[in-house]
A and B are shown apart, each in its own frame.
Chain A
Amino acid sequence: MSFVLTEEQLAIARTAKHVVREYLPVTQLRALRDDGDPVGLSPDAWRALAEVGVAGMTIAEQYGGAGLGWRELGLVAEECGHTLAATPLLSTTVLGAGAIELGGSDAHKRDWLPRVSRGDALLAFALDEDTRFAPGDIALTATANAGDFVLDGEKQFVLDGHIADAFVVVATGPDDGLSLFLVPAGAEGVHAERRLMVDSRNAASVRFDQVQVAEADALGPIGGAADIVSLLCDRAAAVLAAEMLGGMCEAFDRTLAYLKERKQFGVVIGSFQALKHRTARMFCEIELTKSIVAAALQALDDGADDAPMLVSTAKARASDSYLLVAAEAIQMHGGIGVTDELDIGLFYKRARVAELSFGDAAYHRDRFACLLGY
């Protein structure tokens, strides 16, 4: 792999930066929150992103996508991190469309992927059930029933769950293995309820109450979808790590600017060594994060054997670094850092939610050790 970006990748990053800053500035997230917006994201902004190819960036060209890789999508996610952009990039493009591409039938793909690419359809990935990410521990059951299946159970923290057109549901069964089913939001027995999270981004609790699904709506082998789930979670963790990288860079840049402008005791506070050294350490943490995030995304593109190990390192590192940078950003801003008026607190909140999504640092360190056989 090469760390140096190609001309095409640089162009993608530039376009993403332009569109995200125009349609999805931090003020937009504030407006969604303060207006109590029932959707929780801007469909217009998402369509604007779709128009420049973001919604279908990793979807094959035959289904209206751009056929690009995770490295490219990571560049977009990084820009989204800078402005805390509320988009369905993870729920719909990475997870929903990804599940359909990996396990869906031709009919599923023809039906959903072009609409996702246009920004017209939203999908949600129903995985977590308890208080944390635990993809190996799924209680929602799929029971065989006269050639079809019945889903029963409840999902938590389903990103964009209250506005999705369909769910990709992770279920245990009919025996021990994992199965994936594509379930329309309007199916009988599906009850989604929005949960307001600290980062003002979308999540929902979704109950699947004796929901009937056809065998034809399985994504991937019934009882044998664990590999697909694992790959999807790796992609989500890597793209999320890229978003976190953008977020920590933004919080850092704003703090650095403040250190050079805020005066106390007659001098700018950035001249104090107690702050300089901590700032320099943050810089180092961010540089390390940049390298591992790029390496993880590229490994996914290359289908490399060590991709899961690199993704776990990227997510663990991004979680620790983002929280460090965002917490220091608050401390170095002083009193104004803990006010709602300043954006810094929004980055801190996002850092916490992103940390817990798709495995926190402790989860990924444990996984790294398991992957290396210790």
Chain B
Amino acid sequence: MRTPAPESEYVWGGRNAVFPNEDARGWLERMAEKGWTAPTWPREYGGGGLSKDEARVLDQEMAALGCRIPLRSFGLWMLGPVLLEYGNEQQKREHLPGIICGDIRWCQGYSEPHAGSDLASLQCRAAADGDHYVISGQKIWTSHADKADWMFCLVRTDPDAPKREGISFILIDMASPGVSVKPIRLISGSSPFCETFFDNVRVPAENLVGKKNAGWTIAKALLAHERALISKLRDARKEEQDTLEDLAAEYIGTDGEHIADPILRDRITRANMDFLCNKLTLRRSAEAVKAGLGPGPETSMFKLYGTELNKVRKELRVLIAGYRGIGWQGPGFTARELTFTREWLRSRANSIEGGTSEIQLNIIAKRVLGLPD
């Protein structure tokens, strides 16, 4: 449990949890016993009960030992913090312990076919019926919906109110009659994304989190947790990759001193410089926040620039590897070469998911630069 985990060995928990080996199961059980899968959550729900400073020390020690993440979970990363803030006591007691020990796996029901960038226009309907809501409609881009036990979901509870004021945040058991799931294939091949359909699914009214029709506030709070998570995971991944210049030396060769293709060499340098400037700007922004100088440049800028840089980088890996960077599967290509292909294609989604680049530009124009609608 002290070597980096390849994606195939990630532990996601759930009723049908799959562990790559017994060590992974044991590691999760021991961490969950101490509540250290959720170090800062209160002890009464099974959390670690640590202060933020204590949790930071735990993080640092685990990183220093090279420990694997015992449990990957949208419950831990997204739903839990929101339940702690907006959930009632009964909801916390019912759901937090299962998240902490990894017994229940959650998925996120946000986007819909007609509500992508304009999320607040979502139409999935929850109609009150006695002490239940009846859900009908569709969600899309639901990561791991086919493996999840429960979904936290945005539904429309008042179709007549202005679009942001008729949305509620509700918890749905995926085993309920009327729920069906269909995986989505991407240009990069199979993916964790799914479509989820609700055909008159009955959900107890007590599963509604916060006030009815006040779900948009919770939705936004959860998105902030999601964005923080995306940038954290992305940073961790970057470190593992070969440098572009090393790949170029390997696939293209050198003229003794320089990468033999001067045009690719220049493009690699642009990418390297942009990466350096972005890294420094992230640091500058963090320092400004720490010094109490406000949030600095908006996070939208980092989402925009980070994802575009990643696309450039993945594309360059393919161009560097040439024919060996466009293989699809089977013999004749190394495992790494096949990841060049898949990651290049997958990266096209980076500037779409989590708010498109265009949405980020809108946010910068409006909130940072004060340009009018």
Instruction: Spell out A's residues near B (CB within 8 Å).
Output: 2-4, 256, 259-260, 268, 270-271, 273, 276-277, 279-281, 283-284, 287-292, 294-295, 310, 313, 316-317, 362, 365-366, 368-370, 372-374
Contact = CB atoms under 8 A, between A and B. Distances in A.
B259 interface: yes
Interface in B270-296: 270, 272-274, 276-278, 280-281, 283-284, 287-288, 291, 293
A221 to B, nearest CB: 27
A276 B297 CA distance: 17
Interface of B: 245, 248-249, 254, 257-259, 265-266, 268-270, 272-274, 276-278, 280-281, 283-284, 287-288, 291, 293, 297, 301, 304-305, 358, 360-362, 364-365, 368-373
Contacts of B277: 288-289, 291-292, 313, 317
A317 B248 CA distance: 23
Contacts of A290: 281, 284
Nearest to A374: B245
B372 A260 contact: yes
16 contacts: A3-B288, A4-B287, A4-B291, A270-B372, A276-B371, A277-B358, A279-B371, A280-B360, A280-B361, A280-B369, A291-B281, A362-B266, A365-B266, A369-B245, A374-B254, A374-B258
B254 A283 contact: no
A47 to B, nearest CB: 35
Contacts of B358: 277
A108 to B, nearest CB: 37
- A-B complex: 4 closest residue pairs judged by Cβ atoms: A276-B365, A280-B364, A291-B280, A374-B245
A353 to B, nearest CB: 22
Nearest to B274: A288
A287 B293 contact: no
Contacts of A287: 281, 297, 301
A268 B372 contact: yes
Contacts of A295: 280
Nearest to A316: B273
Given A4-B287, A292-B280, A284 B269 contact: no
A291 B281 CA distance: 5
- Chain A contact surface mostly: helix
Nearest to B304: A284
A283 B281 contact: no
A374 B301 contact: no
A288 B258 contact: no
Contacts of A283: 297, 301, 364, 368-369
Given A3-B287, A283-B364, A317-B273, 14 more contacts: A3-B280, A260-B370, A260-B371, A270-B372, A273-B362, A277-B361, A277-B362, A283-B369, A284-B297, A291-B277, A292-B276, A316-B273, A366-B269, A369-B245
Contacts of A268: 372
Most chain B CB inside 10 Å of its own CB: which residue of A3, A280, A292, A313: A280
B245 A372 contact: yes
Contact of A280 (B269, B287, B365): B365
A271 B372 contact: yes
Contact of B287 (A2, A259, A365): A2
Contacts of B266: 362, 365-366, 369
A335 B360 CA distance: 30
A366 B284 CA distance: 27
Most chain A CB inside 10 Å of its own CB: which residue of B258, B277, B364: B277
Most chain A CB inside 10 Å of its own CB: which residue of B245, B274, B283, B361: B361
A369 B284 CA distance: 25
Most chain A CB inside 10 Å of its own CB: which residue of B248, B361, B365: B365
Nearest to B293: A4
A313 B245 contact: no
A374 B258 CA distance: 5
A374 B280 contact: no
B280 A279 contact: no
B338 to A, nearest CB: 25
A369 B269 contact: yes
A279 B301 CA distance: 12
B368 A374 contact: no
B254 to A, nearest CB: 7
Contact of A291 (B272, B284, B293, B304): B284
Most chain A CB inside 10 Å of its own CB: which residue of B258, B278, B281, B291: B281
Contacts of B368: 280, 283
Contacts of A256: 369, 371
B259 A374 contact: yes
Contacts of B360: 280
Contacts of A362: 266
Most chain A CB inside 10 Å of its own CB: which residue of B257, B283, B284: B284
Contacts of B293: 4
Contacts of B362: 273, 276-277, 280
A169 B154 CA distance: 71
A294 to B, nearest CB: 7
A374 B248 contact: yes
A294 B284 contact: yes
A291 B302 CA distance: 13
Contacts of B249: 374
Given A288-B281, A313-B276, A368-B272, A276 B361 contact: yes
B250 to A, nearest CB: 11
B255 to A, nearest CB: 11
B269 to A, nearest CB: 4
Given A281-B361, A288-B281, A374 B276 contact: no
Contacts of B274: 288
A291 B288 CA distance: 12
A277 to B, nearest CB: 4
B372 A3 contact: no
B356 to A, nearest CB: 11
Contact of B273 (A2, A259, A368, A370): A368
B149 to A, nearest CB: 41
Nearest to A284: B301
A277 B365 contact: yes
A363 to B, nearest CB: 11
Nearest to B246: A374
A283 B365 CA distance: 9
Contacts of A292: 276-277, 280
Given A3-B283, A277-B361, A288 B371 contact: no
